[in-house]
Amino acid sequence: MSKLHLVFGGRVADPQTLDFSDPAALDVVGIFPDYASAEAAWRANAQRTVDDATMKYVVVHLHRLLEPPRPA
């Protein structure tokens, strides 16, 4: 299975949380086939908005959501 990663961002209510103010206005950067390319996309977008403390971009490990660990 591919290790897919989603990169998205948006305005947060508090910069110390992931409480996005307007989920409908999220900036979906894309889905990437590996962490390195997802991190590069995250870094580019985070750097572009570095002066806006209420903008936050994140990398989500989709492969962990699609195939959670199985109980032993």
What is the predicted pLDDT for the residue at 68?
A: 73
Q: Which two tokens stand for residue 46?
A: 């985070």
In a domain, 50, yes or no: yes
* CB-based contact 61:5 (threshold 8 Å): yes
In percent, how much of the chain has pLDDT > 70?
99
Whether 70 shows a pLDDT value over 70: the answer reads yes
Nearest to 56 by CA among 1, 4, 2, 22: 22
Q: Looking at residue 50, which CATH number applies to its domain?
A: 3.30.70.2400
* Chain segment 25-43, per-residue pLDDT in tens: 999 999 999 999 999 999 9
Q: Single out the residue of 48, 8, 9 nearest to residue 30, CA to CA.
A: 8
Say how many domains are in the chain.
Answer: 1
pLDDT attached to residue 67: 80
Mean pLDDT for the chain? 92
- Indicate the pTM of the whole model: 0.86
CA angle in degrees (0–180, nearest 5) for 9-58-50:
65
Residue 10's domain comprises 1-18+32-72
Phi, psi of 39 (to 5 degrees): -65, -40
